[in-house]
Amino acid sequence: MITINAAATLGMEREIGSLEAGKRADLITVDLTAPHMVPANMPVWRVVCFATGADVRDVVIGGEIMMEGRRLAHLDEAEIVEAAEAETATMLRRSGLAHLAVEDPGWRRTRR
């Protein structure tokens, strides 16, 4: 309803706006079984008011599966995490702020 009218307004109803063969579409599926998403009544309300990005299970962009079952289809998650950790270490070293990233909760010490 919303997408087809928006596409018509843009003069693009032949390209987008509904799920039909030959049209471009981006889709997501949302896990409605998580505890914060039940009871199962009023599913649209639950998605709008309670769902977060963590509830997205699958992503299709332009007909290409980008994420399936929360696993990225074309990216190596471990490689991304490793690169982010390396860049963070470089930034902390260059900025001289590495000492601020050391966490010492003080366990095994007592106050007197």
> 84-100 pLDDT, tens per residue?
999 999 999 999 999 88
Same domain (yes/no): 56, 34: yes
Question: Measuring CA to CA, how many Å separate 75 from each of 29, 30, 110?
Answer: 19, 21, 46
109 vs 42: CA distance, rounded Å: 52
DSSP result, 11-33: T-TTTSSS--TTS--EEEEE---
Q: Is residue 94 a part of any domain in this protein?
A: yes
Domain count, the chain: 2
What pLDDT score does 52 carry? 95
Q: Is residue 112 a part of any domain in this protein?
A: no
Contact 59, 27 (CB under 8 A): yes
Q: Is residue 98 a part of any domain in this protein?
A: yes
Report whether pLDDT(101) > 90: no
Name the residue range of residue 30's domain: 22-69
Q: Is residue 109 a part of any domain in this protein?
A: no
What pLDDT score does 112 carry? 61
Instruction: CATH number of the domain at 34, please.
Output: 2.30.40.10
64 or 105: which leads in pLDDT: 64
Share of the chain above pLDDT 70, in %: 97
What pLDDT score does 35 carry? 92
Q: Is residue 8 a part of any domain in this protein?
A: no
Q: Is residue 61 a part of any domain in this protein?
A: yes
Contact 67, 59 (CB under 8 A): yes
Same domain (yes/no): 26, 62: yes
